[in-house]
Chain A
Amino acid sequence: MTLKDGKTGMVLRVDSIAESGLKERLMTMGLLPGTKISVLRSAPLGDPMAIGLRSYHLAIRRKDAANIQVSQV
């Protein structure tokens, strides 16, 4: 599955990140293969989503989250 399909409350581990303009920024922000992330909530229309990683919170659009392969922990 990809992070795009993440539901509130899920705890996920990043498997890989597909090449995109955002990949390097995501990695710089600490989102790497192996990083544990939790899905916190969604904005009113379901997008973007808020995730928690490395003791901080990040908002990301579902379109960009589709580039992040994850598996449930």
Chain B
Amino acid sequence: MSASLSVALTGNPNTGKSTIFNELTGARQKIGNWPGVTVDKKVGYVRHNDKDIMIVDLPGTYSINARSPEEKIVIDYLLTTHTDLVVDVVDSSNIERNLYLTLQLLEQGIPLIIDLNMQDEAEKRGIKIDVKKLEAYLGYPVLLTIARDGKSLKNMLNVFTSISMEGYGASPQLKAHIARVHEIEAEVQDEKERQARLIELRYEFIDSILQEAVEFSHVGTSTSEKIDKVLANGVLAIPAFLAIMYAVFQITFEWIGQPIADALDEFIAGDVTDAVSGALESMEVADWMQSLVLDGIVGGVGSVIVFVPLIFILFFCLSFLDGTGYMARVAFVMDPIMRRAGLTGKGVMPLMMGFGCGVPSIMGARALDSEKDRMLSIMAAPFLTCGAKLPIMALFAAMFFPDNAANVVFAMYVVGVVMAIVSTKLLSHTTFKDDNSTFLLELPPYRMPDMKTVLLETWDKGKGYLVKAGTIIFLGCVIIWFLGAFNGEGMVEDMSESFLASIGAAVGALFTFHGFGTWEAGAAAISGILAKESVVSTIGILYGLPDVSAEAEDAIETAEAMLQTGMGSAFTPLSALAFMVFSQLYTPCVTALGTIKKEAGSWKWMIFAAVYMFVLAWVVSLLVYQVGSLLGF
């Protein structure tokens, strides 16, 4: 779409800027990356008064000192890209600090439309802004909005299509301020002192703006304050956090997500499989082709599609919580605990997602402040028990520890968390020791999240799974199927003569001293690198029980059936435990590896993660087996 009007949105974080962007453009958005960095580039389109408007949502920043990738993007974009209108979204209830960015932009000679957003909140907090006076004092147009109010957004679009910035320019006061900025820049040689002087000068000017155009009247304790007295205060904060997280996991894995997933599973295993096999038969397709499509593609891709509802529900809950402002409190409350593990409070949320899936968990690390924090968080996430590892644990625990299954599964979660901490400590003392981590975090007022924003975010994060199912998993299934069905001489009847068996045997040899050096275990481990979901399904196929369900609830039934197969004698309880520990810790799946490559910015880190985690898992699992044997288990 060629746009006849281009608009850039800029402003501080937590100003409702993204809500404005989402409400204005809806689903007509393109989300990509700014070149060279992992910062989302959001561009949206809207048609209004016969004009096609292109809106760019620049990253939220507190300043434009180009100290962070986000700040650099904002200032580079505004100085080098022609944009018809630049809108500075200001949180009216927090106008003092918000005006800092406004002022920096005006000093750069960027003509702004100043949008005083969150009018309703400012009023509640006793802050009254005189629009006319503010306009006169700065010389630039000022707009009032409430981001979720359709009328005020329509008015905003009307302003976009009708305004001419020609008639505006710096006021005498602003000109005088800018002149003083230039004086300081010329006078003060020392960079640090110059910055300090400039910041002081800007806040002095902001004080004069406030005196001229803003009235503060004292109001009592805000609702946010009252909520924080419970959710972010003293010892009560931790049980509150655990309760909220418990609710999120219940919603995802019990109340809403799992029932949908079960229904979908039934649909794919039943109706879809029947329909496809019927169609293939009526077309008289060759047997190998039927096997490829049914066993390989429908079975394999289906096992991933089943996870999609869980992932969407989980992301929905987390986006919702993020929209309320609670996530900032989680970071605040958990910081002391996370810091002892070598991480930062801001890393809690991304890591929590790791119990659902490592991919969003690794992606979430981009919100952290320092390179060190980001890398440590990326390297810790894959150790956690993601949704796809859970079936492995559930199956093995039910088979070999029938009396203690739940405890053994729980112990595997603990193994994951402990290894994440140990590994973080290890890496922060060896590989990523330089950077000094800091923690400075705005605690925005609690707000009712904007549903459109929550849904768009959920879709944006969750659609990665659909893409994954359609690409990597699809390919992986075809490859595994091929390796399992062929050898050098052609198609095989017995899988133990296939390529997969030969490769599995080679890999299995690595685990001779782990108690599970069989080709079946080796093949399962390889398929787990494609997707952890495949470990259980591969084992099922190899031991001749193709209908192994990935559902945790069915594990006991499945376990009883599995014990009757060769698997019952292939593992002892101790070697099963060693296999579980290995599965918990070893090389993440290819999707996670691809995400590490993207987020850490190099192949080097991806290969490092793959090898490092494999070695760590190999060693820990060996210790489990050997120490266990010595102790006589």
| Chain A residues with a Cβ under 8 A of chain B | 19, 21-30, 32-33, 40-48, 50, 54-61, 64
Query: Within the assembled complex, what's the spacing in Å between the Cα atoms of A57 and B63?
Result: 17
**Residue on A nearest B199 in the bound complex, by CB:** A27
Report if A30-B440 is in contact (Cβ < 8 Å); known contacts: A41-B233, A43-B232, A48-B336: no
Given contacts A48-B345, A55-B216, A59-B440, 17 further A-B contacts (CB under 8 A): A19-B192, A24-B196, A29-B97, A29-B440, A30-B100, A40-B228, A43-B232, A43-B333, A48-B332, A48-B439, A50-B332, A56-B443, A56-B444, A59-B332, A59-B441, A60-B440, A64-B440
Task: Write out, one digit per residue, whether chain B residues 192-212 have a CB within 8 A of any chain A CB (1) or not (0).
Answer: 100110011001000000000
Among B142-192, those with CB < 8 Å from A are 192
Is residue B83 within 8 Å, beta carbon to beta carbon, of the partner chain? no
Are A45's CB and B336's CB within 8 A?
A: yes
Are A44's CB and B440's CB within 8 A?
A: no
Query: Within the assembled complex, what's the spacing in Å between the Cα atoms of A19 and B192?
Result: 9
Closest 5 CB pairs of A and B: A45-B336, A57-B443, A54-B96, A27-B199, A59-B441
Q: Which residues of B contact A33 (CB under 8 A)?
A: 200
Query: Within the assembled complex, what's the spacing in Å between the Cα atoms of A61 and B370?
Result: 15
Q: Which residues of B contact A25 (CB under 8 A)?
A: 62, 67, 438, 440
28 A-B interface contacts by CB (under 8 A) = A23-B196, A24-B196, A24-B199, A27-B200, A28-B65, A29-B62, A29-B97, A32-B199, A33-B200, A41-B228, A41-B232, A43-B333, A43-B334, A43-B336, A44-B235, A44-B336, A45-B336, A50-B232, A54-B97, A55-B96, A57-B442, A57-B443, A58-B442, A59-B331, A59-B332, A59-B335, A59-B441, A64-B439
Task: Write out, one digit per residue, whether chain B residues 234-245 have a CB within 8 A of any chain A CB (1) or not (0).
Answer: 110110000000
Minimum CB–CB distance from A13 to chain B (whole Å) comes to 14
Minimum CB–CB distance from A68 to chain B (whole Å) comes to 12
Query: Within the assembled complex, what's the spacing in Å between the Cα atoms of A50 and B325?
Result: 15
Q: How large is the interface on B (under 10, 10 to 19, 20 to 34, 35 or more residues)?
A: 35 or more
Is residue B127 within 8 Å, beta carbon to beta carbon, of the partner chain? yes
Are B336's CB and A28's CB within 8 A?
A: no
Are A58's CB and B96's CB within 8 A?
A: no
Count A-B contacts at CB 8 Å: 117
Are B199's CB and A28's CB within 8 A?
A: yes
Q: Which residues of A contact B332 (CB under 8 A)?
A: 43, 48, 50, 59
Query: Within the assembled complex, what's the spacing in Å between the Cα atoms of A8 and B95?
Result: 25
Are B96's CB and A26's CB within 8 A?
A: no
Minimum CB–CB distance from A71 to chain B (whole Å) comes to 19
Are B436's CB and A21's CB within 8 A?
A: yes
Query: Within the assembled complex, what's the spacing in Å between the Cα atoms of A22 and B232?
Result: 24
Q: Which residues of B contact A29 (CB under 8 A)?
A: 62, 97, 440, 442
Is residue B72 within 8 Å, beta carbon to beta carbon, of the partner chain? no
Task: Write out, one digit per residue, whether chain B residues 417-436 have a CB within 8 A of any chain A CB (1) or not (0).
Answer: 00000000000000000001
Q: Which residues of A contact B238 (CB under 8 A)?
A: 44
Minimum CB–CB distance from A73 to chain B (whole Å) comes to 16
Are A48's CB and B335's CB within 8 A?
A: yes
Minimum CB–CB distance from A44 to chain B (whole Å) comes to 5
Among B301-346, those with CB < 8 Å from A are 328, 331-337, 345
Query: Within the assembled complex, what's the spacing in Å between the Cα atoms of A43 and B62?
Result: 24
Among B438-457, those with CB < 8 Å from A are 438-445
Are A59's CB and B443's CB within 8 A?
A: yes
Are A47's CB and B195's CB within 8 A?
A: no
Report if A22-B440 is in contact (Cβ < 8 Å); known contacts: A41-B232, A44-B235, A55-B127: yes
Query: Within the assembled complex, what's the spacing in Å between the Cα atoms of A31 and B334?
Result: 24
**Residue on A nearest B436 in the bound complex, by CB:** A21
Q: Which residues of A contact B442 (CB under 8 A)?
A: 29, 56-59
Is residue B18 within 8 Å, beta carbon to beta carbon, of the partner chain? no
Among B60-79, those with CB < 8 Å from A are 62-63, 65, 67
Which of B125, B192, B203, B441 touches A55 (beta carbons < 8 Å)?
B125
Which of A32, A48, A59 touches B203 (beta carbons < 8 Å)?
A32
Q: Which residues of A contact B233 (CB under 8 A)?
A: 41-42
Q: Which residues of B contact A64 (CB under 8 A)?
A: 438-440
**Residue on A nearest B206 in the bound complex, by CB:** A30
Is residue B591 within 8 Å, beta carbon to beta carbon, of the partner chain? no
Are A30's CB and B96's CB within 8 A?
A: yes
Are B234's CB and A41's CB within 8 A?
A: yes
Minimum CB–CB distance from B165 to chain A (whole Å) comes to 27
Q: Which residues of B contact A61 (CB under 8 A)?
A: 335, 438-439
Is residue B93 within 8 Å, beta carbon to beta carbon, of the partner chain? yes
Counting chain B CB atoms within 10 Å of each CB, the highest count among A22, A26, A61 belongs to A61
Query: Within the assembled complex, what's the spacing in Å between the Cα atoms of A58 and B440?
Result: 7
